[in-house]
A = this chain, B = another copy of it.
Amino acid sequence: MANPDRSTELLWGAGSRRGLSLERIVRAAIELADAEGLAAVSMRKVAERLGFTTMSLYRHVPGKAELIDLMRDEVMGERPQAETGQRQGWRAEAEAWARAQLALYKRHPWLIESSGSRRVPGPNAVAGFERALEVVARTGLPPAEVVAVVTLVGGFVESAARQVVETAHVERRTGVSEQEWWGARDSLFEHLDRYPTLSRIYREGGYDAPLDPFEFGLQRVLDGIEALIRDGSRDETRCVVCGKTVDAAATGRPRDYCSRACQQRAYRMRKS
């Protein structure tokens, strides 16, 4: 587990603190991870690649966990592309954001492997988050739902990337791995009668031309969000702060907020 304070300091530190050596270490580690996977990244290997001893790295980086934090944020700074001229409607822009994120995962598959444990978000990661919030905020959804939507799409992209990258990884492995795949297929065939629905769907060709999980899933998720936007704007029964359903007052002026807490938050917000 990375020391949060140290990682935060390194990730957010002023330019002067980020010495030349630190950048070289991080870049060497990224090259190693890109070429041989996250498992191949050891302090020894990184040091060797730079022509220094293992322990010299510790003069610039507190530990391996922090190094990985830095690697992650570094590649997240790769600009998706020329940042097209916006104003395309939230859906097209959300699609573009998701596709750029997927491309990032494809360029650096180890991002997925290293996303397991608790990570401190760096400036570039937050910048990506900011861009996504920007897009979704234009939908006019209440703030809490904007955050939830971005979380959902972000999580989906990572999940899809995990599948896409993994199958690509398996396909790239030749011979032995392919045989394993066939072996698993055979033993699965033997017991296929235990799974009637699966075998029926297999027989009906459900696996002959599999749909791209990213493209398919992205459209479903965005459809679901679109439905949320439509429902939310049709009836006004949702809290404008958190988006929860607000039980309509039987008589008198209809409520805007689901609770006094949300009302107070909106008031403070308006006042500042």
Give me the interface of A with B, judged by CB distance under 8 Å.
1, 4-5, 8-9, 12, 112-113, 116-118, 120-121, 123, 126-127, 129-130, 133-134, 137, 142-149, 151-152, 155-156, 158-160, 162-163, 166, 169-170, 180-181, 184-185, 187-188, 190-191, 194-198, 200-201, 203-211, 213, 216-217, 219-225, 227-228, 241-244, 261-262, 265-266, 269, 272
Knowing A126-B188, A205-B269, A269-B203, the reply to whether A155 touches B113 (Cβ < 8 A) is no
Number of copies: 2
Q: Which residues of B lie under 8 Å from residue A181 when comparing CB positions?
A: 4
CA distance A212 to B61 in the complex (A): 36
Asked if A152 and B217 make an inter-chain contact with CB atoms under 8 angstroms apart, the answer reads yes
Q: Knowing A203-B272, A220-B225 are in contact, say whether A208-B265 is a contact too (CB < 8 A).
A: yes
Chain B CB count within 10 A is highest, among A158, A204, A213, A265, for A204
Q: A126-B195, A197-B137 known; A4 and B204 CB under 8 Å?
A: no
Our pick among B123, B191, B220, B223 for the contact of A123 (Cβ within 8 Å) is: B191
Indicate which residue in B126, B198, B266 contacts A129 across the interface (CB closer than 8 Å). B198
Q: Which residues of B contact A8 (CB under 8 A)?
A: 185, 187-188
Q: Which B residues are in CB contact (< 8 Å) with A204?
A: 143, 241, 265-266, 269
Task: Return 18 A-B CB contacts under 8 Å, by A number.
Answer: A1-B194, A12-B187, A112-B116, A113-B117, A116-B116, A126-B195, A130-B196, A133-B198, A137-B197, A144-B205, A144-B209, A151-B213, A155-B159, A205-B266, A206-B241, A208-B261, A211-B243, A224-B225
Q: Is the CB of A211 within 8 A of B118?
A: no
Please give the distance in Å from A263's CB to the nearest CB on chain B.
Answer: 10
The interface residues of chain B lying within 8 Å CB-to-CB of A208 are 144, 242, 261, 265
A170 / chain B contacts, CB cutoff of 8 Å: 118
Q: Is the CB of B163 within 8 A of A155?
A: yes
A220 touches B213 (CB 8 A): no
A209 adjacent to B118 (CB under 8 Å): no
By a CB distance below 8 angstroms, the chain B residues around A118 are 166, 169-170
Q: How far is the CA of A243 from the CA of B206 in the complex (A)?
A: 10
**Chain B proximity of A41: nearest CB distance (Å):** 15
Check A130/B195 contact, CB under 8 A, given A144-B206, A228-B223. Answer: yes
